[in-house]
Amino acid sequence: MKSHRFLLLLPVALSLLLANRPSVPAQEQGQTAEPPREIISKLAARRSAVVALVERVRGAVVNIHSERTVQAAPPAEQFGVTPSQSRINGMGTGIVIDPRGYIVTNHHVVEDVNVIRVKLNDGVAQNALVVARSHEADLALLKIEPSRPLSVMPLGTAQDLMVGETVVAIGNPYGYEHSVSVGIVSVIKRDVSLNKDLSYKQLIQTDASINPGNSGGPLLNVNGELIGVNVAIRAGAQGIGFAIPVDQMIRVVGDMLRTRRRQSIYDGVVCRDLIEQTAEGAVRNVVVERVETGSPGATAGLRKGDVLVQAGDVHVACSFDLERALLDRRQGEHVPVLVRRQNAEQRLDLVLQSSARSRPGTGDVVWRKLGLRLATVDGELVSRVNRQLHGGLEVTAVDTDGAAGRAGIRRGDILVGLHQWETLTLDNVVYVLSHPDLVSFNPLSFHIVRGGQIRRGWIQQVD
C-alpha cells in the first residue's frame, strides 16, 4: 500500500515542483547564450599545439583496409584435394598528397592484396588502385576518385629535426581509425634490419605509440608539417617506432608521378629540391637543374637556376608539386608558370607536347628494330631502385606491333639493359642491335624498371 500511495502522490509532487521552480532565463528557452568568459579561457588553455595541428591535418589522413586471398595447402594425404581459399584482412594508413585523390602509403600495406578500401575522415569509403610502387623504398602511390577536392598534407623536412622534439603520429592502429599519439624524436638516421629481406636506411626513431595499422601514416612536427611516413615497429618492444624521412618520400613519389605523367606528356625540365635553413626554420624551393634543348621548357623560356614558384594553380614547394601540376594534362595545354629569377618574378607560358613526340630524333635503328622511342633519364632515378645501376632510357613511345611491344614493354618503362649491356644512351642500344652476333642473342633479354621494380623479359626475332 505504501508503494501505491507513493505512485498516486508523485504527480502531485511534480506539479508542486513545477509551480515553485525559479523562472528560466530567456536563452534557456531556445535562445543561444554566450559561454562565460572563464569557460572560454579554460578551453583556450587546453587548446595546445597538438590539438590545433590534429584539427588542421586529420582531413589529409585516410584509413586503409585491405583484403587478400590465400590458399591453404591440402593435407599431405589428400593431394587430389583442391586447395581451400581464405580471406585475410589487413589495415594501414595513408597520406593525401593531391586533392584529386593521390595517396601515399607503405608498399607492404598494399602488397599482394586483392581489394584496397580507403576511408576518409568524413567516413566516406571507396576502393583504391595502386598506380605505382617501390618495394625497395617501401612506398606506394594509390588513387581514388573523390567527389570533392581532398585536403592535402602540409610538407616539412627531416633535415632540421632535433632529438627530443615533440612529434605526433596519426593512424589506424589495430583498426582504431584516426588514432593520435604523441612522443619525441628518439634518434635521427637510424638503420634498421627487420629480417634478412627487409632493411631500411636512415629512419627517424620515435617513442610515439606506433602499432600495426599505423604503417603508411604521418609523423608530424608541432607545426603540423609532415616529417616522416611511419613504417615499422620493433616486435616485442614498447616506445620504439620508425618513420621514413619525408625528404626521401618526396624523391620517391616524385619519381612515381614523373613516370606516370611522362606516359602522356613531356616538358623537358629537370628540377631538384633545395632546402635552405633560415632563422625561421627550413624553407623548401624547387630549382631548375636542366632544360633540354628544343623542349617545351626551353621554348617557354625556363632557364637553369630558375626557382619555380607556381605551376598552373599549384604552389610549388617540392619537386613532386611540379609533377602534380602537370599530371593529367594533355598535349597542347598551356600551363602558366611563375618563376623567381635574380630576385624578380617572371611569368612564363609552358605548352606541353605529347611524350611520343618528345624525341623526334630518336634513332631510326631503334624504332625499326624494336619499335621504341627512348629518352635519357637522370641516372639517380635508376640508382635509387638498385645501386648497381647507373642510368637508363625512358620509353616514350611504343609500336604495339613492334618487337618490344609484343614483348610487353610499355610507355613509361625505363630500359636499363639489353643482353649483357647497360643501356645508358641510345648509342648503347644501337650497339646491341648492330652487333654482329645479334642473331645468337635471340631471344634478346631486356631489363626494365617499372613501378619501382626491376623486371626481366625477352624480345623475340630481332633482326
Residues 332 and 401 grouped into a single domain? no
User: Do 126 and 192 fall into the same domain?
Assistant: no
Residues 67 and 110 in one domain: yes
Task: Report the percentage of the chain scoring pLDDT > 90.
Answer: 44
Q: What's the structural domain count of the chain?
A: 4
Last residue of a domain, one of 328, 356, 384: 356
371 plus 351 within the same structural domain: no
226 and 272 belong to one structural domain: no
Other Cβ atoms within 10 Å of 37 Cβ, number: 8
- 132 plus 179 within the same structural domain: no
Stated length of the chain: 463
Identify whether the C-beta of residue 170 lies closer than 8 Å to the C-beta of residue 153. no
pLDDT at 256: 81
| pLDDT per position as a tens digit, 412-454 | 899 998 887 778 878 778 878 877 778 878 888 899 998 878 8
Separation between Cα atoms, residue 309 and residue 287, nearest integer Å: 9
- Find the domain containing 192 and state its range: 166-248
Answer positive or negative: Cα dihedral of 140, 184, 198, 250. Answer: positive
Catalytic residue numbers? 108, 138, 215
| Alpha helices (runs of H) in 21-76, residue ranges in sequence order | 37-46, 49-57
CATH of the domain at 403: 2.30.42.10
For residues 185 and 212, state if they share a domain.
Answer: yes
The pLDDT of residue 96 is above 80: yes
- Pull the grid cell for residue 258: 614523373
Out of 191, 217, 248, a domain closes at 248
Answer yes or no: is 79 within a domain.
no
Please state the φ and ψ torsions of residue 157, each to the nearest 5 degrees.
Answer: -150, 155
381 shares its domain with 345: no
Name the percent of the chain lying above pLDDT 70: 84
CA-CA-CA-CA torsion sign (405, 410, 412, 416): negative
Burial of 237 (0-12, 13-18, 19+ CB in 10 A): exposed
Q: Tens digit of pLDDT for each residue in 26-37?
A: 444 555 566 777
Same domain for 129 and 64: yes
Domain membership of residue 381 (yes or no) is yes
What torsion do the CA atoms of 287, 292, 294, 299 make, to the nearest 10 degrees? 0
Domain containing 230 — which CATH number?
2.40.10.10
